[in-house]
């Protein structure tokens, strides 16, 4: 480490004493003008004063060491810079998604289950679409100095969870649902809610973060329309969902006018992928399949018995539904 020197007999300016987030340099001039060696910083925050600008206000800054989960995020973000990525986006109308969500929740309610959110359905669509595009679950690695594609049977779906601390700062945790492709829809819902609950309660374990193959993040919950998130090293794809909104130019209109114009809410879904093993056409086709899965034909498209229409719409869940022959189509 180089030394900072000041002219003989001159005191080192205070603002030079904190030139880095983790180093405090204390330069004390001796007889020949040489400064003493740099000393390691103490753990506590240090207030520094940058040089005053003529005619400007005096600025004071505080340096706070980054530790714990926040430090791990720093390390992951820096590691992600080594991953060459590209991004595909697709705009999906929400009208059919909303109708199918009502059908799904009616089915879950009748079978003693809980309600499914839009994010639940999108996460399940990722798992279902990977059955047809398994290469998007592959990883990249250097094996014996040879760049290699790593095929992975299990889908460990990472769920990005935004946590707000008491001081107003935020933290991001991404635990994963192990072997999501081997779960039924009900099991998947339970596993999803379990990792979220444990994340908010601070009860996650190291194993919950290990082995993630693909991730889902939902910045749309805070109004973000579209996002291009960072792809962590070792993962193949990260899917991001935006806010469910009318197009911005129509948001000031009353609902009756929007209905007459045929304007519906929509959501932007993006796929950011490792371009070493996944190509743009594959990413685009994957999003198209997600679109198809989340907007399966609604019940209104079938002028037949209600339960028969419901069973078609619920193919998305792979959940069998038994029907009676009554005119109301009640479930058996």
> What whole-number distance in Å separates Cα of residue 60 and Cα of residue 223?
33
Q: Which residue, 266, 270, 239, is CA-closest to 97?
A: 266
Is the separation of the CB atoms in 312 and 302 below 8 Å? yes
Q: Which residue, 291, 315, 313, is CA-closest to 129?
A: 291
> What whole-number distance in Å separates Cα of residue 310 and Cα of residue 185?
16
Please classify residue 313 by burial: count the beta carbons closer than 10 Å to its beta carbon, then call 0-12 exposed, 13-18 middle and 19+ buried.
Answer: buried
| Phi, psi at 88, each rounded to 5° | -115, 150
> What whole-number distance in Å separates Cα of residue 329 and Cα of residue 308?
8
Angle in degrees, 0-180, between the axes of helices 95-110 and 306-313, rounded to the nearest 10: 110
Taken in order 284, 290, 292, 295, the sign of the CA dihedral is negative
Q: Is 291 a catalytic residue?
A: no
- Cα distances (angstroms) measured from residue 93 to each of 103, 247, 310: 17, 11, 20
Q: What angle do CA 24, 28, 30 make, to 5 degrees?
A: 155
Tokens at 20, concatenated: 């880095």
Catalytic, out of 22, 107, 120, 275: 275
- Cα distances (angstroms) measured from residue 77 to each of 120, 230, 232, 260: 26, 7, 7, 46
**Which neighbouring-strand residues pair with 172?**
162
Residue with tokens 């969500």: 101
The residues annotated with a catalytic role in the active site are 275
């Amino acid at each position: 480490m180089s030394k900072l020197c000041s002219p003989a007999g001159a005191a080192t300016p205070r603002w030079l004493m904190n030139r880095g987030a983790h180093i405090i340099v204390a330069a004390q001039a001796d007889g020949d003008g040489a400064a003493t060696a740099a000393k390691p910083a103490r753990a506590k925050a240090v207030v520094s004063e940058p040089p005053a600008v003529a005619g400007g206000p005096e600025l004071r800054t505080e340096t706070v060491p980054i530790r714990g989960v926040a430090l791990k995020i720093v390390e992951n973000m820096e590691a992600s810079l080594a991953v060459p990525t590209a991004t595909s986006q697709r705009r999906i109308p929400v009208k059919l998604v909303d109708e199918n969500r009502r059908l799904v929740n009616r089915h879950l309610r009748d079978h003693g289950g809980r309600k499914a959110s839009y994010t639940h359905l999108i996460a399940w669509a990722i798992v279902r679409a990977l059955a047809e595009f398994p290469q998007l679950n592959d990883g990249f690695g250097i094996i014996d100095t040879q760049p290699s594609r790593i095929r992975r049977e299990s889908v460990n779906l990472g769920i990005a969870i935004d946590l707000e601390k008491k001081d107003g700062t935020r933290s991001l945790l991404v635990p994963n649902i192990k072997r999501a492709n081997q779960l039924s829809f009900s099991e998947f819902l339970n596993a999803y809610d379990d990792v979220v609950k444990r994340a908010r309660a601070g009860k996650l374990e190291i194993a919950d973060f290990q082995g993630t193959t693909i991730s889902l993040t939902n910045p749309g919950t805070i109004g973000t329309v579209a996002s291009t998130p960072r792809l962590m090293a070792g993962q193949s794809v990260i899917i991001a969902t935006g806010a469910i909104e009318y197009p911005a130019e129509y948001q000031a209109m009353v609902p009756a006018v929007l209905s007459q114009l045929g304007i519906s809410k929509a959501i932007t879904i993006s796929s950011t992928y490792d371009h070493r093993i996944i190509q743009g056409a594959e990413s685009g086709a994957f999003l198209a399949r997600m679109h198809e899965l989340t907007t399966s034909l609604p019940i209104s498209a079938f002028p037949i018995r209600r339960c028969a229409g419901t069973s078609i719409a619920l193919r998305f869940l792979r959940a069998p539904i038994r029907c009676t022959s009554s005119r109301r189509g009640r479930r058996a």
